[in-house]
A and B are shown apart, each in its own frame.
Chain A
Amino acid sequence: MTDITQHTAARPRADFLHRFSVRDAGTLIGLVVILAVFGALVPGFFAERNLINILQQSSINACLALGMTLVIISGGIDLSVGPTAALSAVISASMLVAGVPFPLAIAAGFAIGLACGLLNGVLVAYVGLQPFIVTLGTLSTYRALALIYTGGNPVLGLPAGFRAIFNGSLFGLPLAVVIVAVVALIAWIILKKTPFGEYLLAVGGNEEAAYIAGVPIARTKIAAYMISGLLAALAAQILIGRLGAAEPILGNLWELDAIAAAAIGGASLMGGKGSVVGTILGAVILGSMRNGLTLMNVQSFYQLLATGLIILAAMLIDRVTRGRG
């Protein structure tokens, strides 16, 4: 017994490699291959500016995908992230335009995100409805609320001071990228280092067994949806900061990109499996592909095609390497 503990404790490098799973390594290889291909085909693809561009373009999707990953791991899905972001955006934006202080307006946006997630979570965890149907319903509901609230018009003229916050940069990186990196770090810690992360994996992996083992099922699920809502709201703030306006139709189809990034990164829609590192890599894969194809002047139809093929390829590789299951 003692020699076993010493064995594991004495090998931090092996421990690190162990944490960086085989699946994540696979996603990383995928990213490297895609970068190499575009690097060879597109002059200037590896320019520092373009690489920062890719990160910036991926940041919003990465932000949503992190929340989506936690929800998917818990055995659920959140289709309502786009409309949640829209609702959060128009409410923050109209407060800002009305002259409410920035922190308060941003906090209100976050509160909206949390509330949207709470409703999703309660309907799933306490009422026992299927996550797909619940969030399909709230997808329409939240979108409708955003449209009704604004009368369908964009909220224009956000104060320059607010825009400056999210358009700033830190350590030479756009602030949005830094924010999402911090969020990713927090998500990674949650998943790897906290009981809540373990509960997410257990609830998604086998809810009945988790229940018998004393895992707080409802709280865990609700927390996952609330985090997803909160991150949708954060994405909304980043976006309206960049655009200077909030449209009620903002975030259309965001949920699909977020699910794609999570799935490419190794999350299983059956629940119980997913990786923060993988999801970030997945979001960057999607982002660099769009960036590269745009620089090559490829028609957007083909970009869509490429996205589809990447998702299918990732799933096929998953299948082949994992065997059945």
Chain B
Amino acid sequence: MSPRLQFEGISKEFPAVRALSDVSFSVGAGEIHGLLGENGAGKSTLLRILSGVYRPTAGSVLIDGKPVTLNNPVAARAAGVAMIHQELQQVPRLSVAQNMFLGHPLTRGSIFVARREQERRAAEALAAIDPTIDPAAPLGSLKVAQRQIVEIGRALLDRARIVAMDEPTSSLTPSEFERLAEVIARLARDGVAVVYVSHKLDEVFGICQRATIMRDGVVVGSVDLAQVSEKAVVSMMVGRELAQEQHRSHASAEIRLSVRGLASPTKVHDVSFDLHRGEVLGIAGLVGSGRTELLRLLAGADRASSGAVEIDGKAVKLSSPRDAIAAGIGLVPEERKREGIVPLRSISNNMALASMGVFAPRGVIDHTRLKRVAAEKMKRVNLRPFLLDRPIRLFSGGNQQKAIIGRWLAAGTRILLFDEPTRGIDVGAKAEIYHLIEELAAEGHSVIVVSSELPEVIRLADRVLVMRDGTVAAELGRASLSEQAIAAHAIPQTEIEAGKAQGHRAGA
């Protein structure tokens, strides 16, 4: 029997770039197949070919052994391919059912949309995977995890034979992920071929049977995940062995930042801690536990309702980002595209944005000086390619992140707040960001790292605060640091009592 999905010698050339070169592999019916590779390896291009957005320059896609022409997204959908994007392509104001029928509303031959019937069929499709979702509810009222499930429901509705998922879990909590994993497993049991793209290797190992690893537009290999180690897969992805780094602490006894009883109107309650000079403080906790909100308070992006903050023993008021920057605090936000970069501006200009006063002491920007500092800071963070006048949007996520770090270095920031520092950044660049954070600490910067990836927290932090329901539930020193210890404090007690993480609401 021929495989459900087969790529045969797929190549894709763009002007000046060869994005894919002779890519071949296959996915059987009922198989969950991981697709791994660094950013720029060609995964997204391949998925775009599968979903009809791009046409391959050479090669063909076969479904159930028959070559199919996927000239546009409609054709791909008709051929049984459903694509679930990383950034969900949904309309929040429309209902769940309307979203599931988006683009081909059910009219039953009349000029009117049969809303009731849409909702009935949507409910039918959702019943199998998550009966708690109300098809008539506005999609915007659902959590991200449920929205993912709605997308899968839509694939069921379309009777998709192939479901491709691009980083579906990047913003899910562990228990939400488990729920999603169950749904994916159910899809596979029904004979759907699932192509699963993720940066998180543990997930891929957890739910996929086989995986194909890509690098620089070619397939490095397809492996049976039961027979290889994560380490082997990583070196296939990166093309070299990534050195395992030992943690080194640079924390001094000197207290730089002191937070007492800090609270926001809604999400943060009575948070107190100290941050030392040269220290990397990790903040762990589930999504929604108030970590991001705490960072935003410290960065002046949101206003605290009560509490006191001292820097070097002096009380500071943080009522705007300007205040925070003046006090020496800078935020490297989680959502780089939305809160970090000004896409059309160059690397230099993005870097200089927070320290314009320094570059324009007499009101006119000293471009010579700006260029010199940009060259220095971008060299420091190892920007690649080293093109300071190029718009930042043309750089990879990792290099955009480096530019944002450079922004704070140029502004003379002494306290750096990182929210999910390596979200959406590939393995190689990740290691560079880790290095950079350690070097900054070694130079005497104080760093706070909020992360959902426990290995990341453990790799970087000298000390970890675990947040739960808006407050600090535990403080763990290096000696007592483990994924189990963090998880035990991060998960609300009620959930532990309820047993296995079923339908938990900690994200609310």
Contacts and interface: CB of A to CB of B under 8 A. Distances in A.
B342 A206 contact: yes
Nearest to A3: B375
B30 interface: no
Contacts of B324: 214
A213 B363 CA distance: 19
A210 B338 CA distance: 10
Given A209-B339, A214-B354, A194 B344 contact: no
Interface string A1-24: 100110011000000001000000
A194 B342 contact: no
Interface residues of B, number: 40
10 contacts: A1-B379, A4-B388, A5-B375, A195-B365, A202-B353, A206-B341, A206-B342, A209-B339, A210-B342, A213-B407
A210 B360 contact: no
A170 interface: no
A194 B371 CA distance: 15
B350 to A, nearest CB: 8
Given A202-B342, A202-B353, A212 B360 contact: no
A209 B341 contact: yes
Contact of B340 (A9, A199, A212): A212
Contacts of A194: 360, 363-365
Contacts of A195: 356-357, 359-360, 363, 365
B315 to A, nearest CB: 20
A213 B354 contact: yes
A215 interface: yes
A324 B146 CA distance: 31
Smallest CB-CB A-B distances: 8 pairs: A195-B356, A205-B342, A214-B325, A213-B353, A213-B354, A214-B322, A214-B321, A206-B342
B368 interface: yes
A149 to B, nearest CB: 37
Contacts, number: 89
Contact of B331 (A5, A210, A212): A212
Interface string B363-382: 11101100110011001000
A287 interface: no
A273 interface: yes
B448 to A, nearest CB: 15
B343 interface: yes
B478 interface: no
B333 A212 contact: yes
A201 B339 contact: no
A198 interface: yes
A201 B345 contact: yes
A208 B353 CA distance: 13
B352 interface: yes
A198 B344 contact: no
